[in-house]
Amino acid sequence: MRITHACPACGATVAHDAIESLQVLDCPACRATLRIPEDAIVRSGSTPKLRHCLVCRSREFFVRKDFPQRVGLAIVVVGLAASCVAWAAHELVATFAILFATALLDLLLYLFMPECLNCYRCNARYRGDGVTADFGGFDLETHEKHRQAVARARQLGGPRPDAPAS
Ligand SMILES: [Zn+2]
Ligand SMILES: [Zn+2]
């Protein structure tokens, strides 16, 4: 199983392979280490299962396509530009052929892209065989719950107005 997450100390994007055999996640940018809780990953049979997030310990995840949005957008932009050129040259059949091919390519890429698991709270991503098996798709209510919890924690962590002056 692989993880990509933002370092809680410095915010750098950190990636680790084979996390089921690691004890800590260390950040190459700031050298902060994050101890992996022992019960975070359990083995059932041959596939390791994720119990809670290694970074924020949340138990809620959603399944998403591991699709780089920039690639999808680039295909659409190139397809549109090419179809405009064909349109300007009065190549009606070519114009629609290009548009159709663009849409088809996007669809095929989407269908064949692997899925990954995304943590609602800290946006850590998990990839690997069977990692998405026990989880469902994106749920707006759960997302909103975590967003508010994170915002509250940030407020509490900041300087409190009633704190004694030092
Ligand atoms: Zn760091
Ligand atoms: Zn998390």
pLDDT tens digits, 102-123: 999 988 988 888 999 999 999 9
Which ligand sits nearest to residue 149's alpha carbon? 2
pLDDT (tens digit, 9 = 90+) per residue, 50-61? Answer: 999 999 999 999
Q: How far is the CA of 107 from the centre of ligand 2 (A)?
A: 30
Which ligand sits nearest to residue 12's alpha carbon? 1
Which ligand sits nearest to residue 8's alpha carbon? 1
Q: How far is the CA of 76 from the centre of ligand 2 (A)?
A: 32
Tell me: do 81 and 153 sit in the same domain: no
Q: Distance between CA atoms of 2 and 132, rounded to whole angstroms?
A: 12
Q: How far is the CA of 53 from the centre of ligand 2 (A)?
A: 5
Q: Distance between CA atoms of 53 and 135, rounded to whole angstroms?
A: 13
Confirm whether 150 is domain-assigned.
Answer: yes
Confirm whether 101 is domain-assigned.
Answer: yes
Tell me: do 59 and 105 sit in the same domain: no
Tell me: do 58 and 128 sit in the same domain: yes
Spell out which residues have Cβ within 5 A of ligand 1, the ion: 7, 9-10, 12, 27, 29-30, 32
Tell me: do 62 and 6 sit in the same domain: yes
Tell me: do 101 and 127 sit in the same domain: no
**Which residues are paired to 16 by β-bridges?**
3
Tell me: do 56 and 78 sit in the same domain: no
Of 21, 16, 4, the C-alpha closest to 64 is: 4
Confirm whether 163 is domain-assigned.
Answer: no
**Structural domains counted in the chain:** 2
Confirm whether 116 is domain-assigned.
Answer: no
Confirm whether 36 is domain-assigned.
Answer: yes
Confirm whether 165 is domain-assigned.
Answer: no
Q: How far is the CA of 110 from the centre of ligand 1 (A)?
A: 32
- Boundaries of domain holding 93: 69-111
Confirm whether 162 is domain-assigned.
Answer: no
Average pLDDT over residues 114-137: 93
Confirm whether 166 is domain-assigned.
Answer: no
Matching residue, tokens 């699709």: 67
The pTM (predicted TM-score) of the whole model is 0.76
Which ligand sits nearest to residue 59's alpha carbon? 2
